[in-house]
Structure 1
Amino acid sequence: MGNSPIDGARALTLGTAGHIDHGKTTLIRALTGKDTDRLKEEKERGISIELGFAELELPGGRRLSVVDVPGHERFVKNMVSGATGIDLFLLVVAADDGVMPQTREHLRIIELLDIPCGVVALTKIDMVEPDMVELAAADVEDLLAETRYEGLAVVPVSGETGAGLPELLNALEAAAALVPPRPAYPATRLAVDRVFSLKGIGTVVTGTLWSGELRPEDVVAVLPRAASGRELNEVRIRGIQVHDRPADVAYGGQRVALNLTGVERHEVQRGQWVVRDPVVAPTFLADVSVQLLAEAPGALGRVSRVRVDHGTAELLAKLVLADRETLGPGESAYGQLRFEERALVYPGDHLILRSVTPVTTIGGGRVFDPAPHKHGTDPKWRSRLAVLETGPADDIAELLLAEAFPRGIARQRLEHSPYLWRFNGRKAVETLLAGGLAELGDGGLLFHAGSLAVLRGQVMEAAKERAAEDAANPFLTLGELRRAVARGREWPALEAALAQLQTAGDVVRSEHGVRWGEAAAALEGTDAAAAERLLETMTAGGADVPTPEVAIAAVGLLPADGARLLKALERLRRVVRVTEDLYYPSEVLDGLLARITAAIEEEGQITLAQVRDMLGTSRRYAQALLEHMDSEGLTLRVGDARRLRRRRR
């Protein structure tokens, strides 16, 4: 509804910067026709305190959202709130003053936030002689030469007379054309800078939409949760305005007002985010790279308390350096921010660091991991951050894959990982698969190939050791195998490794467990035949299974041979020892226990006498079966009855 980017050009936000009383607000009023000073105090004092907003239409028809920031040193945090999320800047320098302290600080902040393009407006040229304009322009060019912005267009203008405004608009249009595309973040988030309530409308929040799109009826979350507030995970957008006009969609880069339902005015505050489909959780920790300004008043120790400006929030945190004891002016390092309250930071986000007292800008940072563990000085930590910072994408994907082992990670989840947003995640994963660095298991899970190869080797070693220890029973149960190679856990990677080894014929998997592929079968020849006869005799007894001595004698075996075969059958899980001298064939026992369990489920409990009568057996066998169920954790004795135990889900 009138807010779509023109001719496919994406929406951009322009932020002003500059020293107090250099004419930023006057210039914006001349360019847009809108007065961005909105507070009574601002009108009375003639300075900007809060952020002001307007819309600027360029000669080619493209519209820019304009954020007018305060220039007074006491309101630098508000300046940072306006500067974060902008695409290009307009640095305002008065010709009668030239470069001043806040001019330098604002330009340093712009550089730390990695804002790519901009224009310098040399204002108040109607108040000075032409030679003063030239001196001021030279002063600005010297300042720009100290930064990445050397050679930026410097346009002399007057907000009062209108002189130079057409040239300034043309320069802004040229700069806008140079703004690179934003990373294709799948996340949609808006940094809240104002919250108010209107009669008959309800709660309204405004801010810059950093990425994604928002539409009326979208369900969003407000994050992080306020310290004394409730979870706001299902807030509905009733309506959207872009520069005072109703809109059916808001695009990343635009100034947006959202009318929210399901939330009260007092529950939302500046510094929070409106997020659709959150993919990163608020955190107390973030791994970052930090850069201290050359003008910083002094070095930081290994642990320093700092102010962190991010989005529209000002946070307090401890900065813990990764690999050094001090960080001097002009130096860079890796570190960890430990916030005093939860922050919502995404990989790639830029931060401004300011001293706690006196409050001054000392440097900046960039987030690489919004969900790290707390750690101190560790070379591995530094190496990990170096990979996350510089890539390439397939190195980051391999790192994430290795860290996900042995759980594995869904292919789509890895491709869309926040750590890969600034790259082509799908291409990175394809590169890993093609290079043999990743392996795809059942269910679409990806595993780190090197780690999976190590696990396969461990499985083979465990299987060979069992075969060497007990040729009669070379099988490892899954429980034994997990204890041997997986710390007793059900690792998805273990299932993947077993499937690969089984396909290759390196292991054999059956109802008895897992054995080395070259291990002999447990029982062969005459032993196998005798064991089957013994098993048949025991099975024929049903619930009244014969004792080992009786069964062995019945098939004509010597006691020693019968005991050896019975032991082999037990190891193969063909029979189960229930008491000292009572063995049940596994299939018989499973059937009996199933009948008892079904009876308890129907009646709620069962007594020994009831089991005896139901199975048509003696008290001895009924008691043995119930005590076995007790020992296996299947039943619980309550008085003379048994009840089923509640199993954990």
Structure 2
Amino acid sequence: MIVGTAGHIDHGKTTLVKALTGVDTDRLPEEKRRGISIALGYAFMDAGEDLRIGFVDVPGHERLVHTMLSGATGIDHALLLVAADDGVMPQTREHLALLSLLGIRRGTIALTKCDRVDAPTLAQRRGEIRALVAGTSLADAPIVEVAATTGGGVRELREHLIAEARALPPREVAGRAFRLAVDRVFSLAGVGTVCTGTAHAGEVAIGDELLLLPPAPGQSPRRGRVRSLHAQNEPAERASAGQRVAIGLAGLEKDEVGRGQWLAAPEIAQWTDRLDVRLRLGPEEARALRSGLPVHVHVGAEAVTGTVAVLGRFGTAQAAGPHPSPLPQAGEGVSHAAAALPQAGEGVSPVAAALPQAGEGVSPVAAAEALQPGEEGLVQLVLHGPIGAWAGDRVVLRDASATRALAGGVVLDPQAPARYRRTPQRLSELIALTADSPARRLAGLLAQAPMGVDLARFAAGQGVAGDARVALLAAAGASTVVLGADGPAWALGAAQTAQWEAVALARLAQYHEDQPEELGPDLARWRRLAAPRMAEPLWQSLVRRMASAGQVTVSGAAAHLPAHGIQLSALDERLAQKVMPRLLSAGFEGVWARDLAKDAHEPEALVRTTLARLSQRGELFQIVKDLYYAPSAVQTLARIARASAIGGDVKASVFRDRSGLGRKRAIQVLEFFDKVGVLRRVGDAHRLRADCRLFIDDHEDGGAACADAVETA
């Protein structure tokens, strides 16, 4: 258990911690000289049976509240101190408000310096404290009278904290990836760089690799290897969530690490400058919290400035009373979700109206521009710099001058969208993200998100370890799942799958009605007609589902309903037999329609008609007008194009050299691949679409094809 002290300056926090643990947490010369804590101090108390309690001694000075918050975001139990000779003071109130805003509900109140006052004063102080904590998260906290300098009450307090530690529910470590908020960095001879902090989730072992987040602007995250570990101030082979941890790192220099950064497992690496949070405005505030308000945002051990955008307000049933619905505790369901959102200029999704609506069984959220004192709602924080954050992390807002705490809550989505953030669809998704576990959050998203859920992004934001993501998906349930190289990549709910299939089939039937002479659209065009905002991997998976169910037929690059097919006449069959040998022998050069007619000794008009029908059936391909290729040649050229990609781009010169084609013909072939979706034209480059499986046999290596990759169109 991690205990965090709180209280006014000179109310005996450091002295009491020393009496409990034997450790003086004032370690800096200036702290010794001035007699006050300036930096976070740490101490540990053995409680027997492999139980060790860690203490975070935080400064009480008003100018060091930001340091107090750095220590408070990772604690399990609050120890609020009030000196009997002074009574309740300004920082007592502020620290109590901060603990309440952080959602810390386990706590003890220590009435210190009891040897300095008489019994009537002690009784008066107890009454003042009870009045102070009434209606706060520590309303039911016991009051223990102590005199640290004489030892009075210290034993009773120690036994009480040990009992609290034994009663603390164990942190859920399985399935969580490790992350630690760095609050101190130093160097040791023979060890190198050492980072200390509270482990918020997961487990780490010597030899593991961790990423430093967020990275320097324009750079990739630095990587360090765990060389040594201390957990709760003891040498260890492993350390886990809820412990104070010191990590010796190889590969990182002291000057490269700053307080407020995170050390995290690579599979959950992320950083953000937008957070969607569930927030409660302090009931004692005189003004509403309005959109556009500048604030200081505290997450983990970091503080950054930003602005508020109020998204919605919970109904009165949820916001009533001093304790609205419980906020997740630190380390629970640690962070990141996001289903696809509407893009600019696009209309409403054709399936959105048919999907379950938000708020079924949940208090509704009303769109709002402000939160009134004591109200709870959904807020987006637009930050002025990147930070590390995950779902479930505690958040505290202070005013622009950083002199007063305003509000507190938890992160719901650390990768919040910049647009459409107040739409009913988005509010529905945020309500789903208030559930108490990653599996329930994912299930809620799958029930709400018409475009599916990016599972890799969601799992990283929730802090879910890579080897636990399949189990997460199984617990949530989904109808359509796309697997990627590192596990599940996309998922679509059962209702959405059925609705999108109906929409796609309707669009295909309409295409047949409008273009009866054509076999059907190619898959890329069909997607643009039916689901232009759907991720390509999900679309490909839907097509395969419909094809395997016999709902559609895919012929080459074209799709059509089974009842709609281009039928060849006896004349077409005869001409096809005459032209196909020449096409097969032409290889990469292809054959012009006029030359095929000449070689077959047939009228050019008849040959053109037959070639058009064969092309519609996917039995040959027209690269440019009147230039035809056999499927085997196109498949080989597509393989060469994929192998020619450098950094994802296919250059005409490289493709020309590898294929042996002339420059003009090479460009024509690449433009054909752009058209059918193998490549995508971006400026002067032909960018490889790793999600497209056209012209790839099922037995070929899927590494180059990768229908499982995610396209962010």
Q: TM-score, normalised by structure 1?
A: 0.80
* Residue matched to 1:532: 573
Q: Which amino acid aligns with 2:571?
A: A
Q: Which residue, 321, 331, 337 being the options, matches 2:375?
A: 331
Q: What whole-Å deviation, never above 9, does each CA across 1:289-346 have from its counterpart, x for those lacking one?
A: 2222122353333111111122222211111111433333322221111111111011
Is structure 2 residue 13 aligned with structure 1 residue 17? Answer: no
Partner of residue 162 from structure 2, selected from 173, 194, 200 = 173
Does the 8 Å CA contact 2:215/2:222 hold for their aligned counterparts? no
- What are the superposed Cα offsets for residues 446-485 of structure 1, whole Å, 9 maximum, x if unpaired? 3333333233223323443454456565344435434433
Q: Specify the code of the residue in structure 1 equivalent to 2:113.
A: K
Q: For residue 150 of structure 1, give the secondary structure of its aligned residue in structure 2.
A: coil
Partner amino acid, structure 1, of 2:17: I
Residue 306 of structure 1 contacts residue 353 of structure 1 at CA under 8 Å; is this kept in 2?
A: yes
**Aligned 1:197-596 pairs, distance under 5 A:** 197-226=187-216, 231-242=220-231, 244-322=233-311, 323-357=367-401, 359-375=403-419, 377-390=422-435, 396-398=441-443, 400-401=445-446, 418=462, 429-430=473-474, 433=477, 438-440=479-481, 446-469=491-514, 473-487=518-532, 491-511=536-556, 513-519=558-564, 522-523=567-568, 527=569, 529-539=570-580, 565=610, 567-574=612-619, 586=630
Structure 2 residue 153 is the aligned partner of structure 1 residue 109:
no
Contact conserved, 1:508 with 1:517, CA < 8 A, in 2?
yes
- SS in structure 2 at match of 1:382: helix
Q: Deviations over 1:459-515 (max 9, x none)?
A: 323443454456565344435434433549982233333333333332233347322
Q: How far does residue 647 in structure 1 lie from its aligned partner after superposition? A: 6.1
Amino acid at match of 2:7: G
Describe the SS at the equivalent of 1:389.
Answer: coil
What SS does structure 1 have at the residue aligned with 2:157? helix
Q: Structure 2 CA distance, aligned partners of 1:310 and 1:172?
A: 26
Equivalent residue letter for 1:42: E
Counterpart amino acid of 2:265? R
CA-based RMSD of the aligned residues comes to 4.0
Cα distance in structure 1, aligned partners of 2:299 and 2:166: 27
User: What is aligned with 1:66?
Assistant: 55
Contact 1:119 1:153 in 2 (8 A): yes
3-state DSSP of counterpart to 1:303? coil
- 3-state secondary structure, aligned to 1:270: coil
Offset at 1:347?
0.3
- Assess if the C-alpha contact under 8 Å between 2:223 and 2:251 holds in 1: yes
Shift of 1:65: 0.8
Whole-angstrom CA distance in 1 between matches of 2:567 and 2:261: 66
2:72 match: 83
Structure 2 Cα separation of the partners of residues 456 and 60 of structure 1: 59
Query: Which residue in the other structure is 2:23 paired with?
Result: 34
Look up the equivalent residue of 1:336 and give its one-letter code. Q
Q: CA separation in 2, counterparts of 1:285 and 1:419?
A: 17
Q: What are the residue-to-residue correspondences of 1:188-199 with 2, within 5 Å?
A: 188-199=178-189
| Residue 230 of structure 1, CA deviation | 6.1
The CA deviation at 1:199 is: 4.0
Q: What is the alpha-carbon distance in structure 1 between the residues aligned to residue 133 and residue 655 of structure 2?
A: 84
Distance 1:30 1:324, change over 3 A: same
The 3-state SS of whatever aligns with 1:498 is helix
- Please identify, of 394-403 and 490-499, the stretch whose mean Cα deviation from structure 2 is larger: 394-403
Between the two proteins, the alignment pairs up a number of residues equal to 595
- SS for the counterpart of 1:34 is coil
Find the aligned partners of 1:590 and 1:150 in 2 and give their Cα distance. Answer: 74
Three-state SS of the structure 1 residue aligned to 2:5 is strand
Partner amino acid for 1:195? V
Residue 434 of structure 2 aligns to a residue whose secondary structure is helix
SS of 2:147's partner is coil
CA contact under 8 A between 1:18 and 1:24: conserved in structure 2? yes
Report what 2:140 is aligned to.
151
Q: Cα distance, 1:574 vs. partner?
A: 4.7
Unpaired segments ≥5 residues, structure 2: 312-366, 642-652, 673-683, 689-713
Q: Which consecutive residues of structure 1, in runs of 5 or more, have no partner in the other structure? A: 1-11, 612-624, 636-644
Aligned 8 A contact 1:188 1:210 in 2: yes
**What's the offset of the Cα at 1:191?**
1.7
Greater displacement, 585-594 / 529-538: 585-594
Q: Percent identity?
A: 33
| Aligned equivalents of 1:398, 1:419: Cα separation in 2 | 16
- C-alpha displacement of 1:265: 2.1
Q: Distance in 2 between matches of 1:120 and 1:492?
A: 55
1:138 aligned counterpart, secondary structure: helix
Q: Distance in 2 between matches of 1:606 and 1:428?
A: 45
CA contact (8 A) 2:272 2:414 kept: yes
Aligned equivalents of 1:281, 1:345: Cα separation in 2: 8
Aligned-partner residue type, residue 197 of structure 2: G
> What corresponds to 1:45 in structure 2?
34
Q: Report the CA distance shift for 1:297/1:73 in structure 2 as closer, same or farther (over 3 A).
A: farther
Deviation at 1:43, TM superposition (A): 1.7
Q: Is the 8 A contact 1:474 1:522 kept in 2?
A: no
CA contact (8 A) 1:240 1:259 kept: yes
Normalising by structure 2, we get a TM-score of 0.73
